Structure 1
Amino acid sequence: MSRVALVTGGTRGIGAAISTALQNAGYRVAANYAGNDERAAAFHQATDIAVFKWDVRDYAACGEGVKRVERDLGPVDILVNNAGIARDAMFHKMTPEDWHAVIATNLTGLFNMTHQVWPGMRERQFGRIVNISSVNGQKGQAGQVNYAASKAGDLGFTKALAQEGASKNITVNAVCPGYTGTEMVRAIPEELLKERILPQIPVGRLGEPHEISRCVAFLVADEASFITGATISANGGQFFA
């Protein structure tokens, strides 16, 4: 029987590309989402991927959500922590609400989700966890102190947990996308993209969601079992870690 993969934030943007790539690779996929019922329903209709609604900021909701996934599809073998938000502002204008919302989703969400599946992975002596961080978690970015801090925290989480999982055949890795052509990025004014963002990217273009999803599909495969605690930087040469 094929393995079960759970992707948080898995019905839109990079998450949708990851969910679809894993389905195409033969996994049984569950795509989590937090709020947009219409988009989730459209994604399910287009792909036949099962969708499940809960907020990764809520530990109890994550526990109940994982139980539903495992009841419907089976034990979770692969977890992709992709759910994330941005609340950008220069630091002197950033509110405590901006800070806590981003940290709660982008960093605490990793704990909330991974803590639910970790015991089962240890018991079964197999697991694949991939955390979607960001180039701005590697290099920092003005106006994104909260976002950069959360995404840098994701990398520390990855490296530490990889050491705990290695003896149990559980790998924990990270992918750091650069600017990728999602709805959020393409909503940036074209002039700003051309003058401020694209010049930072040596390949001269935005990434595409499917290019990020291929990194994830590689890391969760059996052939990647010797890779753990690693970070794949998919940013068009914008930053070298």
Structure 2
Amino acid sequence: MPVSAGPRGAADQPSLAGRVALVTGASRGLGAAIALGLAARGAAVAVNYHASRARAEEVVRAIEDEGGKAVALPADVADPDACAELVAGTIANLGGLDVLVNNAGITKDSLIYQQEPADWLAVMRVNFGGVVNCTRAAMGTMLRQRSGSIVNISSVMGIRGWVGESPYAASKAAINAFTRCTAVEAARFGVRANAVLPGFAATDLVAGLTTKNGGRGILRQIPAKSFAGPEDVANVVAFLAGPGAAYMTGSLVTVDGGASAVLGVGAPLG
């Protein structure tokens, strides 16, 4: 799949020129869109990947083709030592760290009664553990420079329920709580922490849900009547990372077409 140059609306967002950003899980899907969006606004970007080096380098080339600066860096975010090396590599290659986007995630969907312990533990280690590990690794640099923006990619699943999604939803709920605590602890140092809660976005991670029956069953429950594009989420991430959100910290921002505002799944009256 070709990598686009960046999300629509990039020119309307605050500039990130001179900033360095690290995006975890950025070799494809939402992470790639976020990396491209930050680069389109002037940031130098570390494109983290776990297994797909080729895809990460494709994202880097797309950024460089537009005159930006980027580097692909491997790391398993479930490993604290790997996260420390990832942050050190970002600083060594790009000269600093101003923005951390914790995006890496996995899902292992199953009904609660059928779940294997190893499956939900794996989801928690990557989704929540990755946020904790990378935040801790980046915190020293951000606290010392008394500035920084951390944007955690959560999900509306963290505030609502869905059949077969309990490990994923629980990991995202943990991210929400961790985001608030990070914001409270880091605020006096000029470091902000916010979370973006996408709804159903057109990415590989939730393709099994959004493509079933053409997604019609889910679309009926979304007031906007469409799935989010990765660029829709990336635009919000870029805003939270930049100076326009300077007074925002501890916020959980939904990007879901109004889905979490709906009461129940019934048809409207009239």
* TM-score normalised by length of structure 1: 0.95
For residues 76-125 of structure 1, give each alpha carbon's deviation from its aligned partner in whole angstroms, at most 9, with x where no partner exists: 11100000100000001110111111000110111110101101111111
The answer to whether 1:178 aligns with 2:194 is: no
Task: Name the CA distance, whole Å, in 2 between partners of 1:57 and 1:191.
Answer: 31
For residues 45-76 of structure 1, give each alpha carbon's deviation from its aligned partner in whole angstroms, at most 9, with x where no partner exists: 23233111110000111111211111111221
Task: Name the CA distance, whole Å, in 2 between partners of 1:112 and 1:31.
Answer: 17
The 8 Å contact of residues 23 and 29 in structure 1, kept in 2 or not, is answered as yes
Aligned counterpart, 2:112: 91
Task: Name the CA distance, whole Å, in 1 between partners of 2:19 and 2:56.
Answer: 22
**Secondary structure, aligned partner of 1:76:** coil
The counterpart of 1:63, out of the listed 78, 84, 92, is 84
Aligned counterpart, 1:236: 257
Which structure 2 residues correspond to residues 80-159 of structure 1 after superposition, within 5 A?
A: 80-159=101-180
What letter is aligned with 1:192?
Answer: N
What letter is aligned with 2:152?
Answer: N
Task: Name the CA distance, whole Å, in 2 between partners of 1:189 and 1:213.
Answer: 19
Structure 1: gaps (5+ residues): none
What letter is aligned with 1:42?
Answer: E
Structure 2: gaps (5+ residues): 1-16, 65-69, 263-270
The 8 Å contact of residues 8 and 31 in structure 1, kept in 2 or not, is answered as yes
Which structure 2 residues correspond to residues 16-31 of structure 1 after superposition, within 5 A?
A: 16-31=32-47
The counterpart of 1:163, out of the listed 180, 184, 195, is 184
Count of paired positions? 241
Q: 1:190 to 1:107 in 2, by over 3 A?
A: closer
Task: Name the CA distance, whole Å, in 2 between partners of 1:195 and 1:122.
Answer: 46
**Secondary structure, aligned partner of 2:159:** helix
The alpha-carbon deviation at position 187 of structure 1 amounts to 5.1
The alpha-carbon deviation at position 199 of structure 1 amounts to 1.3
Question: Which structure 1 residue ranges, 4+ long, deviate > 6 Å from structure 2?
Answer: none
Q: 1:191 to 1:117 in 2, by over 3 A?
A: closer
What letter is aligned with 1:221?
Answer: G
Aligned-residue identity in percent: 39
Task: Name the CA distance, whole Å, in 2 between partners of 1:163 and 1:3.
Answer: 23
* TM-score normalised by length of structure 2: 0.85
